[in-house]
Amino acid sequence: MSGERPTKSQVRGRGMDIKEVRSLLKLFEGSAIHELEVQSGDQRVRFVRTSPRAAAPAPCGERPPAPAPAPFTPGGNGKARPDQEEGVIVRSPFVGTFYRAMAPGAPPFTDVGALVQPGQVLCIIEAMKLMNEIECEVGGRVAEIFVQNAQPVEFDHPLFRIMPV
């Protein structure tokens, strides 16, 4: 604590400082849990989502969380549910943000109609500040892309339909 004035909770030797609360909030936002309560000394902090898809508010000065993804439902485009049509559905392995390209302005990894090979990167899903490459498991042609770039996705959300060749 060179030159810094300790907080009241640090002087008492118990409780949490704002950095610890922000850290807890980031963990909560990046998780699928609906409620988190932590007590340290005589201080208690509690985060509760108001619905399964609601996000906790971001602390001041930080970027607000992305909007929750809409559940996949038939209708909007007049097509059937992904699992009711032919082909292999590539699904999101976790909650995160879907990206079609390596960086803004870069060409997408793949497009509708493109031929893909097993092991080829189809997209990136950012989860808890980590960029995770999602690879194709079968060779074929990309028949459909169900998600828009930078859209949040849930676990098991359909991403692509691949028609094996």
Q: What Rg do the C-alpha atoms of the chain give, in angstroms?
A: 21
The residue out of 16, 37, 65 marking a domain boundary is: 65
Helix (H) or strand (E) holding 132: strand 130-135
Closest CA to 25 of 1, 59, 51, 49: 59
In a domain, 72, yes or no: no
Estimate to the nearest angstrom the gap between the alpha carbon of 145 and the chain centroid. Answer: 17
Task: Determine the pLDDT at residue 47.
Answer: 75
* pLDDT > 80? residue 145: yes
What pLDDT does residue 129 have? 86
Cα–Cα distance for residue pair 66/69, rounded to 1 Å:
9
**Does residue 75 lie within any of the structural domains?**
no
Q: Does a structural domain hold residue 114?
A: yes
- If you average pLDDT over residues 141-164, what whole number do you get? 95
Look at residues 113, 143, 109, 146 and name the one whose alpha carbon lies nearest to residue 124: 109
Give the chain's domain count.
2
**Contacts for 36 with CB less than 8 Å, ≥ 6 apart:** 24, 27, 28, 46, 47, 48
How confident is the model over 33-63, as pLDDT tens digits?
Answer: 777 777 777 777 777 776 544 444 444 444 4
Residues 40 and 92 in one domain: no
pLDDT at 70 over 70: no
Q: Identify whether the C-beta of residue 94 lies closer than 8 Å to the C-beta of residue 124.
A: no
Same-domain pairing of 90 and 160: yes
Which residues form the domain of 91?
Answer: 82-164
Q: What is the pLDDT of residues 85-100, one digit of tens each?
A: 789 999 999 999 999 9
Look up the pTM and report it. 0.51
pLDDT confidence of residue 3: 52
Mean pLDDT of the chain, nearest integer: 76
Q: What is the CATH number of the domain that holds 156?
A: 2.40.50.100
